Structure 1
C-alpha cells in the first residue's frame, strides 16, 4: 500500500478483495504488515467490538518491537496521544464525555446562519471576476471560518491558519511549524476562556464536570479543529465537483428531485472525506472475515472500500437516497461526534454557493482535474469554475 503500485488505492483494494475477500493482508511503508478491512459488515464489527479491537496504538506489535521507527512516514497517524480517539474504558468515557458535552451546547440554527454568512463573504471575494478555484477559495476556507466561530475565536481566522491546517497532515518539513502555530492559537484561547468563559465550545469543554486540564483542552481543540477542517474541506470539494461534472446530479438538483443534503449523503458513499482510518489493534486473537487475526495485529478501517462492498452495493452507480449506513463517520464508541456540523457546513455552504452562482460551470475538462492521494484520503487539488460576473452582496454581521 505504498510506492508506485499504490498510486490508485481504489484499484489496490479491489485486487485485495478479489484475492482475499473481506479482510486482506497488506504492507505499509517499510513492509510493516497490516490487515485492510474491505467488507462493510466487517468494518462495522471492527468499530463496534471494543472488547476485541482498540484504537490504542501502543498495543500494536510492530510498535512494541521497534519495527515501526520514530521516523516512519505514518508516525503522525500512529503516535499514541492522551486523546479520546486513542483512549479506552473509563478514560475514553471521561474525555469523550467532555467533547460530547461541549458539542451538545452548540446552537445549530445559529451555526447554520453563520455558515450562510461566511459563504456570502467568501463568494463576495471572487464573484466580480467571473472565475474562481472552489477548492482554495471556498472548500478550504469555509470550514475554518465556521470552526473558528464555534470554538470561540472568530478573530483568529486568517490565511495562515488555513495554510497551517492544510499543511499539518501532509508530514512536510513545515508541518512541525504549522502544528506549533495552531497549538499557540489554541493554547492562548484555552487560557483566555479559563479566565473569562463565554457561551462557546471551548468554554463548555473547560467547564465540563470531567475537569480537563489546560493541556487536555488545547489538545482536544486541535483534534476537533483539524479533523473537522480536513474532512469538511474534502466533503465540500467532492460535492461541488459532482454537482459541476455529473449532468444527472445537476438536473436532479435543479429539478427538485434531489436536495443538497441528499447530494451530500451520496458523496459520502462515493467519495468519503477520509478513505481509511489507521488504525485499530487486536487486543486478543480473533477471527474477522474468515482471517485469523492475532493479538497485537493492526487493522485499517476501510471506509472507501467498505462503502463499495458488492454485498451492500451491487450497483455502485445506483443512488443511495435516504440510506445513511455509509462508513464515512465510522461507528461504535469512536464514531465522529461532530458529524451534524460537517453535514451542516456542506448542506448550507453548497446550497448558498449555488444560489449565488447558479450558472457556475467547470472551467476545464473533467479529466484535467487532479487529486493528491494518501492512505487516509483523496484530496481534490483544484476545482476551477467560470460564471457570469456579478456584484457583491451586502452581508450583515461578521465574519
Structure 2
C-alpha cells in the first residue's frame, strides 16, 4: 500500500496515512490477523466476518497486506468484473514497492506468468480458447473407462491385504494416472511423477527439483507430440489455430496437470472421508437417496479442494462489501468462507443436492475450464472403489486423522481403512465386489437349455432335427400335418433365426 491516500473528505488533499479498514492500517499486534499463523482458518474467517463484514483486511507471510473476500456475492462480483479486478500481479502495490520478496512462500501462486489464468483481453481469449478447445475434444465415455480401469489397477495393488491408505495409495494416484491418459502420455505415469507433483505443490526444500522433473517430462512429451501428433489433449493444443508455442503448450500442460492433480486428489479424499465417518451420509449413498455425483457436489460446498485462490488485483479504486478498495490492492478469492456465507446458507446442515452455485471452481473469465474432468475422476473413481470394497471401514478413530493446512488448501495426510481381503479383478471389467457371472454365448428365449457334460458355458442354440412323428395308425403311418404356429412361437423362431 502507498503511504498516501485519496482524501476521505472530498477536498482533494491527500491524507497522511492509509484509510480506515485498509489492510495496511494497524500492522503489528492488534492489527489485521496473519492468515498463515492461524491454527483454525475457518474460525478466523467467521471472526473476520463478524468484525468487518463480507470483505476483511488480513496479512499473509512477511506481513504483506491483502483483503480476504468472505461473502458469496462479493466473490462472484470480483471474479465476474474484469473491468475492475484482474489476475495480473504486476499491478499489485506491495509487489511494485518491493514488499514481496523473490523467496516469498506464496510466490508460485502469485508470480505473473504468460498463461491463460493470468492474462486478460485478447491474449486471454487466445490462450483460453486454445485450452477450452483442446478440452472440448475429450470423449467423456472413454474418459470414464480410463477412470474405472485405473481404479481397478490401483485397488488391485492393495485389495488382497485388507488394509490401505486411501490418500497415499488411491486419491493421490488416480488423478495423475487419468491426466496422463488425457494428455497422451500414459507411459510417463509412475510413482516418481506422483511424488514429484506432490512435493512441488507442498513447497518443500526439494520442491524446485521436483518441479524441474515434472517440467522435463512435459517438455519431452510436448516435443514428441509436435513430431508425432495423436488424438490427445496435447496434440489438440499444439494444432489449435491459436498457434501456441511449445513453451506456451508446456506451461499450460503444467497448469492443467498441477491444478487437476491437487484439486481432484483433495476432492476424492474429502468425499471418502465423509463416507467413512458420517453414517447418515453413507446411508444416503448406500440407500439410493444420494448418488455419488451428488455426494461430490455436496463436498464441493462443505470442503472445497482449494479454500482460497491467490489472487485478484484491483485495477482501479472501487468499493466491495462496504470496504474502499484502492487501485493495486490484492484480494483473495475466499472459496471456503464464501461457500458458508450465512446469507446464502443459513443452515449449514441443509442438503445442497442439485445446487452448483458454490465457488469451488471460481467463476467469470477465469473459471476452471477442466472442472467436469475433475468431477468425472472423483465420482467415477469413488463409485468404482466402493463397488470393489463395499465393506471398507475407517481403521482409526476419526479424531486421529491429520491434515496439512495452508491458506490455499487443507489436505488430508492419510486415510487408513480396513476391509475383508478381496481377489484382484481384470482391469478391463466393470468394478464389482463379487466375481462377474459367466457371459452367454448366444441368445435364448424360453426355458434354460441343459449344459453339455463337462462344459461351464451354455452352448450356442442349435435346432435339433425333428424326428418322424408316429400317427394314430402306428409307426410308418403318415402323420397328421402339424398345427399352425401361434404368434408367440413364430416370434420366438424368428428371433432364434429359424
Larger Rg: 2
Distance 1:190 1:300 in 2: 33
Cα deviation code 1:105-144 (max 9, x no counterpart): 0111000011001000000000000000000000000000
The Cα of 1:249 is off from its aligned counterpart by 0.7
The Cα of 1:395 is off from its aligned counterpart by 1.6
Match of 2:104 among 69, 72, 87: 72
Q: TM-score, normalised by structure 2?
A: 0.79
Q: Is the counterpart of residue 117 in structure 1 residue 146 in structure 2? A: no
| Secondary structure, aligned partner of 2:234 | helix
Distance 1:194 1:148 in 2: 17
Q: TM-score, normalised by structure 1?
A: 0.98
Aligned to 1:60: 92
- Tell whether the 8 Å contact from 2:35 to 2:41 is kept in structure 1 after alignment: no
Cα deviation code 1:180-219 (max 9, x no counterpart): 1001000111101111100000000000000000000001
1:236-315, aligned counterparts within 5 Å? 236-315=268-347
Match of 1:139 among 160, 171, 180: 171
Alignment root-mean-square deviation, CA: 1.0
Which stretches in structure 2 are left out of the alignment for 5+ residues? Answer: 1-32, 430-498
- Tell whether the 8 Å contact from 2:311 to 2:332 is kept in structure 1 after alignment: yes
- Larger % of helix: which? 1
Aligned to 2:409: 377
Distance 1:149 1:182 in 2: 16
Distance 1:133 1:191 in 2: 36
| Secondary structure, aligned partner of 1:250 | helix
Change (3 A) 1:302 1:3: closer
Q: Is the counterpart of residue 178 in structure 1 residue 210 in structure 2? A: yes
Distance 2:324 2:377 in 1: 41
Q: Is the counterpart of residue 338 in structure 1 residue 346 in structure 2? A: no
The answer to which structure, 1 or 2, has the higher relative contact order (CA under 8 A, 6+ apart) is 1
Runs of 4+ in 1 over 6 A off after TM superposition: none
Match of 2:267 among 235, 244, 248: 235
Match of 2:249 among 197, 212, 217: 217
The Cα of 1:6 is off from its aligned counterpart by 1.0
Distance 1:156 1:38 in 2: 40
Match of 1:193 among 214, 225, 233: 225
Aligned to 1:30: 62
Cα deviation code 1:274-317 (max 9, x no counterpart): 00001000000010000000000000000000000000100111
Distance 2:411 2:36 in 1: 18
| Secondary structure, aligned partner of 2:242 | coil
Distance 1:24 1:4 in 2: 15
Distance 2:348 2:198 in 1: 31
Which stretches in structure 1 are left out of the alignment for 5+ residues? Answer: none
| Secondary structure, aligned partner of 1:372 | strand
Match of 1:154 among 173, 178, 186: 186
| Secondary structure, aligned partner of 1:280 | strand
Distance 1:2 1:232 in 2: 28
The Cα of 1:396 is off from its aligned counterpart by 2.7
| Secondary structure, aligned partner of 1:351 | helix
Cα deviation code 1:230-265 (max 9, x no counterpart): 000000000000001000111001110000000000
| Secondary structure, aligned partner of 1:125 | helix
Aligned to 2:72: 40
Q: Is the counterpart of residue 81 in structure 1 residue 96 in structure 2? A: no
The Cα of 1:3 is off from its aligned counterpart by 7.3
